[in-house]
Amino acid sequence: MSLEQGYQYWSSKIDQPIIGDWHEMTQGRIDQFAEATGDFQWIHVDSERSAKESPYGGTIAHGFLTLSLIPLLTDDMNLGGIPVQNIKQFVNYGTNKVRFMSPVKPGNMVRSNYHIVSVEKMRRKALRVIKKVTIEIQGSAKPACVAETVTLIFF
């Protein structure tokens, strides 16, 4: 029953836009990401050099940092707000497509604007949910990132 209930719930949301809250990109977050990944390229962590040499006039966030914010920005797999019973877990299964369209600078506000593309029943009491996620930059016509994500939901 729960798998069917979940299928009905997520299928009813296909193509409905869901817009997240704004979150600030900070230099501190960029520096922490550099520390975690070992990617200390100057365009991300050297404010002085980036101000002089970067075509962006300062540091920018790593593309993969922007991508990694999708769980924070979407917050759509939070069990507390889902009227479906017997969910065991959500698994990030990966991405089908990712494009980094515009750099995110410290001080920029970013949010998600996404919709569910498809929901499929799997053999192991699971659903596969595919979402198209656009990460927007406040005040910019061009998004920071567009990604098609795949989540497995186990019952």
Q: What is the mean pLDDT of residues 120-144?
A: 96
Extents of the domains making up the chain: 2-154
Q: Tokens 């798998």 label which residue?
A: 3
> pLDDT category, 81, cuts 50, 70, 90?
confident
Give the span between the Cα atoms of 3 and 30, in whole angstroms.
39
What is residue 42's three-state secondary structure? helix
The predicted pLDDT at position 79 comes to: 66
Question: H or E stretch including 79?
Answer: none
Domain spanning 2-154: which CATH class is it, in words?
alpha beta
- Pairs from 75-79 (Cβ < 8 Å, separation ≥ 24): 75/20, 76/18, 76/114, 76/131, 77/151, 77/153
Q: Strand 109-122 to strand 23-24: parallel, antiparallel, or no bridges (unpaired)?
A: antiparallel
Kindly report the pTM of this predicted structure: 0.91
77 token code pair: 């797999």
